[in-house]
Structure 1
């Protein structure tokens, strides 16, 4: 297919996505030949405390591993909706763990961070059984999932509860994350953080320290939900001031939602998000870079 026809097709697909369930369409167009999936592994006692694992095909020994948390304002979302993320990263030679976590109104802050810490602890203990190297561990998220990832990487309290520390991460990756959002404007999010008495220690930007893992922060310039200047830009500045390695990229063709959707094969033309994530993992982990595969479309 020519480049013009491909772009016309993807533009038509984007319009189609707006008229139906976008995630269902993306997953329907996601190939299954690049990964094997192990579903619904329990990392805790609650029904929401389960995770899926995506492994590259062909299998790779001692592959890097990414624990991914999806967004949804801490009150919606399912790991089953993000198979396109698992496929994309697995196609680059990365083992992917996508974890569900408890949501509001079942829980409020900080219970979902405690769930995330448990999912990371399970990964550290068991992921070698699935061909990955726990010494090459990254945490990644989109939107509120990027918040979860950032808090696990920056605020040691949550991993300390499970006998670990943020030093288990080779790096962390945030897509369109809210890292500095008090006072809370989003009415759906307010009860999650006890508005108007939202605790300042709930903000990732207040937990930056010199020992934090390297970060990759990606955002859309046209993000109407999470202000990229205040959140991505502000956190990046504070990380740099603390001497923490941080890479930042802003994209003009994506929105808040399509930033993560651009990881999928049909929408990869929107932004090189998958390439940036893969390059970050290779750059921060020279050992892991020999295991990751060359980019595939």
Structure 2
């Protein structure tokens, strides 16, 4: 990444008062309050043999008492070399409380794996979630993916590059996708996280979501904070512009004053009043996945 620093290990302003030894965002898993009426309905379901190829599922308490709910698969960030689903239950709970069955997936990390293994994991996890969603009152025909930071990169890659979902036998599974503070155009690789994850790629362009923008992609929603110095808002602006130039469906929203960590931290009740990010993301998915259900 030339123009933008990526995944520097800094503590965001939203959690600066919490113990510095904790994960900047994962600490929210230990700090209340939580969204009520949501429960984890499955833990450590597998989509592969590696211990990190596991996912959890969260659902609202009302699940099973009406029509099946739309399904979301969430990928956390961490520079492709860190992170755990056990630290982000609060984010999955927030989405589930808004009427979704939500899976949060671990994936293999650098240096144990390199590109494209972690993206292949994201595709495999998404396909496996669809296979089991009905058991937890989810509708796999209305499935979306989303992520924050490196997780947004995963979500956009499996949505835009047709090869990943085709390789797991589900080329048309993803009906909508959202990215929060995602890196979509970061060539050449010039910081440790991108060099370590992608530096061995024979064709670097194949690592970039922007390269795969297409008119017939599922609808995209992109969010970014204007105070983000980890992944600058330029990435979101570039992907939105390219999608619209090609005739694709894409909407982007910039949130004044929000940092890289702030953007996803607003999913927590502690920081929700800072910006309506959760409401905007939920509204996008209800609109787009509702259209799928209605044949629109």
2:61 to 57, 60, 64: 57
Q: Distance in 2 between matches of 1:59 and 1:287?
A: 20
Distance 1:99 1:35, change over 3 A: same
Q: For the Cα contact (< 8 Å) 2:224–2:254, is it kept in 1? A: yes
CA deviations 1:76-102 (Å, max 9, x no partner) are 000011011111011101111000000
Distance 1:24 1:150, change over 3 A: closer
Q: Distance in 2 between matches of 1:33 and 1:217?
A: 27
Aligned position for 2:220: 215
Select between 274-283 and 186-195 the one with higher mean Cα deviation.
Answer: 186-195
Distance 1:106 1:184, change over 3 A: same
Aligned position for 1:4: none
Structure showing the higher helix proportion among its residues: 1
1:232 to 233, 236, 255: 236
- Alpha-carbon deviation of 1:289? 8.9
Q: TM-score, normalised by structure 1?
A: 0.88
Aligned position for 1:16: 17
Q: Is 1:182 paired with 2:201?
A: no
Unaligned runs of 5+ in 1: 1-11, 291-297
- Alpha-carbon deviation of 1:59? 1.7
Q: For the Cα contact (< 8 Å) 1:30–1:84, is it kept in 2? A: no
1:99-114 matches, within 5 Å, as 99-114=105-120
Q: Distance in 1 between matches of 2:217 and 2:146?
A: 15
2:74 to 47, 68, 71: 68
Q: For the Cα contact (< 8 Å) 2:80–2:193, is it kept in 1? A: no
Aligned residue pairs total 277
State the secondary structure of the residue aligned to 1:189. Answer: helix
Aligned position for 1:192: 197
> Which 4+ stretches in 1 moved above 6 angstroms?
none
Distance 1:32 1:174, change over 3 A: closer
Aligned position for 2:208: 203
- Alpha-carbon deviation of 1:185? 2.6
Aligned position for 1:27: 29
Q: For the Cα contact (< 8 Å) 1:178–1:226, is it kept in 2? A: yes
Q: Distance in 1 between matches of 2:241 and 2:269?
A: 32
Q: Distance in 1 between matches of 2:111 and 2:259?
A: 27
Select between 189-198 and 173-182 the one with higher mean Cα deviation.
Answer: 189-198
- Alpha-carbon deviation of 1:188? 2.7
Q: Distance in 1 between matches of 2:39 and 2:142?
A: 20
- Alpha-carbon deviation of 1:235? 0.4
Q: For the Cα contact (< 8 Å) 1:169–1:213, is it kept in 2? A: yes
- Alpha-carbon deviation of 1:110? 0.1
- Alpha-carbon deviation of 1:31? 2.4
1:252-267 matches, within 5 Å, as 252-267=256-271
Aligned position for 2:44: 40
- Alpha-carbon deviation of 1:244? 1.2
